[in-house]
Amino acid sequence: MTAQTTDGTIPPVTDVAGDLESAAGEPVAGEPLADAAPPAGRRCFGDGDPVYERYHDTEWGVRPEPTVDERELLERLALEGFQSGLAWIIVLRKREAFRAAFADFAPDVVAGFGPDDVERLLADPGIVRNRRKIEATIRNAQALVALHAEGGRLWDVLERYRPEPRATPPASYAEVPTDTPESIALAKELKRLGFTFVGPVTTYATMQAVGLVDDHLATCPVRAA
Ligand SMILES: [Zn+2]
């Protein structure tokens, strides 16, 4: 997920993946960034939508502990990739359908998906039907399986690019980047490892999602919890 406006929409992003097209006729969010600090007590995003609120409160910016599940990381990376150019809530509402379509993101299963699976996925109205994103997810599963075969872990790769924690929480989205030197370096490393559709905006969104960075705004109730 990329930076959100306080009403839960996202601005369009330009990633090196270059994917701004609308998949399956779904809308591309085009709201400008809200630069003003939101009122105290308001979530960074998601207020009023239970699915979105739960994601904001319990997943976004929360480091998975104590054992990071590589299957879950593949799911999170895939969802961030599918989100590119779309509002995050669209992907979030389709999450269960994505899990069903992608074998619960079991890396070894997805890595074995062939042309028939791609066609099945392109015909699945429950997910974002975008061939490039579907094929990227399969390729990323293959890259993850290869990484595991060498004794590596995706979490360890991500952690190597964890930046120093912020000195102060962001006051507004004007202070939340869409990419950083660390996310640019992470994108480069993931590409070297065979991952695709992982530009610096997608990798930064992933860093936010899995808690490598904490971009909850200063006014967010999560900060006070
Ligand atoms: Zn927040």
**CA pair distance 66, 57, nearest whole angstrom:** 18
148 is in an annotated binding site: no
Residue 40: predicted pLDDT: 84
- 23-224 is classed CATH 1.10.340.30: yes
- Cα(222) to ligand 1 centroid in Å equals 6
Residue 173 · residue 217 · CB < 8 Å: yes
Which residue in 52, 55, 60, 173 is the catalytic one?
Answer: 55
Helices (H), the chain: 50-58, 70-83, 88-93, 95-101, 107-111, 115-122, 131-149, 154-159, 181-192, 200-209, 221-224
> Is 175 a residue of the active site?
no
- Cα(43) to ligand 1 centroid in Å equals 5
**Is 80 exceeded by the pLDDT of residue 170?**
yes
- Cα(219) to ligand 1 centroid in Å equals 8
Residue 39: predicted pLDDT: 85
Q: What is the mean pLDDT of the chain?
A: 86
**Is 80 exceeded by the pLDDT of residue 94?**
yes
pLDDT over 90 for what percent of the chain?
76
**CA pair distance 3, 44, nearest whole angstrom:** 9
Which residue in 70, 75, 80, 182 is the catalytic one?
Answer: 80
> Is 155 a residue of the active site?
no
Which residue in 52, 60, 70, 88 is the catalytic one?
Answer: 88
- Residue 122 token pair: 């392109």
> Is 96 a residue of the active site?
no
**CA pair distance 204, 163, nearest whole angstrom:** 11
Q: What is the DSSP string of 138-202?
A: HHHHHHHHHHHHTT--HHHHHHTTPPPPPSS--SSGGGS-S--HHHHHHHHHHHHTT--S--HHH
Q: What is the pLDDT of residues 14-57, one digit of tens each?
A: 343 433 333 333 333 333 346 777 888 899 999 999 999 999 99
Residue 130: predicted pLDDT: 97
**Is 90 exceeded by the pLDDT of residue 98?**
yes
